[in-house]
Amino acid sequence: MSGAVPAKYQSASEIVDLVTNREISAVEVLERYLNQIEEHEEDVHAFNLVTINEARAAAKETDKLIVQGEKLGPLAGVPVAIKDNLCTKGIPTTASSKILEGWKPPYDATVVKKLKEAGATIVGKTNLDEFAMGSSTENSAFGPTRNPHDLSCVPGGSSGGSAAAVAAGFAPIAIGSDTGGSIRQPAALCGVVGVKPTYGGVSRYGLLAFASSLDQVGPFATSVRDAAIVHEVIGGYDPLDSTSIKQAPNSFVQIIDEGVNKLKVGIISELMGGIDGITHEVIEQTNKAVSALSNAGAQVEEVSLPAALYCLSAYYLIAPAEASSNLSRYDGVRYGLRVDGANLKEMNVNTRTEGFGDEVKRRIMLGTYALSAGYYDAYYGKALKVRRLLAENFADLYKDYDVLLSPTSPCTAFKLGAKVNDPMTMYVNDVCTIPSNLVGHPAISIPFGSGKDGMPIGVQILAPPMKEPVMYQVARTLEQASQ
């Protein structure tokens, strides 16, 4: 493959065992990953910022606690990369946008705080499509990220930097956000595991909002088990997030190896060729995953999710509408970039014109139009009706099926620049992942084979809300079959 980066994989759980048993120090683990970053980051550009000094200090503190005999967290000594739309105290957080130039949050996002408390070592802030708006990580003020499997290809988006960081061996774990597929789609294109938890299952406090009713934070990992471990760490109720679920978090790791015998799996027919743009080789690999589940004892049947045909249209009304509202706070007054003008209005216009990139401006305009007088009912209102219909479709299916299955991305990683000037073609990359966001359900993408170009293909498992344990069971079974 063209200019591929050799990944140096090591699982997070292996690192924890080695560090806690004092077979290797947290500092030694960190330096191995920092060396990989130093060798290949210039080619990949997974990071907006590598926090070398802070990471070394954290690793030294972990080793100190081990010597003192202190009890360590479940991610002790594990390097973790954080998407640059999650607040990190005293460390620049940009959302890959000029408009947040120079801003350093005064607090950590809840997810970041939980990772630190679990003993993780934060190694840096990863690149993304500006304000998480994109499917290729080409819409970044800091330039595109490249796919470690082929540097001429995109890593997917918007969490492309996080996916690439794990795929390139820069960190065994990364954190992303998923509004319409922004964890799962890049996970598929980069050949790693990516999880979108149940909406409200992981705190959004400290996540720079794109679309508040859709955004969710989740992990990237090299294995299903590692993803489950991290999910347990970052999940749970947070009083700082008004949408957080007041329910004791499930344990995912304990039942992950229980298999799929007698589970019922529905294959979503609309996402297996019923929508244009899903390639034959992706469908072929998904069918192999279906066979693997059947061979493992699951009862597999084709099912219909009729509202899936309208999800893309509904999403690109709802998400921009919420973005239009959320991004109004970037006005040149409160924080970040300010471009002066003759008066307040002119300053505001100048700041937003220079500070936002083309894709963000496009979505703000779409959202503002959809919410405007005379068009609200015709567009936004209808999109909400599709959302409700989709929820009803899912509810009907989950009466009879434990999980659903589909491709993750309609194609393998495409070339850099191939779709950047065609927004409609770019938007189709989210066609398989958007349904889960619209209804707030969990979903996971795992690598399952590759295309003729040698690039990874991902398969997606969807589950009812708060039913991640069974989702991880199925994912683990497929992971074993793919190996």
pLDDT at residue 117 greater than cutoff 70: yes
Q: pTM to 2 decimals?
A: 0.96
Q: In order of start, what are the domains of the chain with their CATH numbers?
A: 12-259+443-482 (3.90.1300.10)
Quick: pLDDT tens for 361-418: 999 999 999 999 889 989 999 999 999 999 999 999 999 999 999 999 999 999 999 9
pLDDT confidence bin for 1, thresholds 50/70/90: very low
Task: Give the pLDDT confidence of 123-164 residue by residue, as tens digits.
Answer: 999 999 999 999 999 999 999 999 999 999 999 999 999 999
- Residues marked as catalytic: 83, 158, 182
Tens-place pLDDT, residues 338-355: 999 999 999 999 999 999
Residue 247's pLDDT band, with cuts at 50, 70 and 90, is confident
Q: What is the 3-state secondary structure (H, E, C) of the chain?
A: CCCCCCCCCCCHHHHHHHHHCCCCCHHHHHHHHHHHHHHHHHHHCCEEEECHHHHHHHHHHHHHHHHCCCCCCCCCCCEEEEECCECECCECCCCCCHHHCCCCCCCCCHHHHHHHHCCCEEEEEECCCHHHCCCCCCCCCCCCCCECCECCECCCCCCHHHHHHHHCCCCCEEEEECCCCCCHHHHHHHCCEEEECCCCCECCCCECCCCCCCCCEEEEECCHHHHHHHHHHHECCCCCCCCCCCCCCCCCCCCCCCCCCCCEEEEEHHHCCCCCCCCHHHHHHHHHHHHHHHHCCCEEEEECCHHHHHHHHHHHHHHHHHHHHHHHHCCCCCCCCCCCCCCHHHHHHHHHHHHCCHHHHHHHHHHHHHHCCCCHHHHHHHHHHHHHHHHHHHHHHCCCCCEEEEECCCCCCCECCCCCCCHHHHHHHHCCCHHHHHHCCCEEEEEEEECCCCCEEEEEEECCCCCHHHHHHHHHHHHHHHC
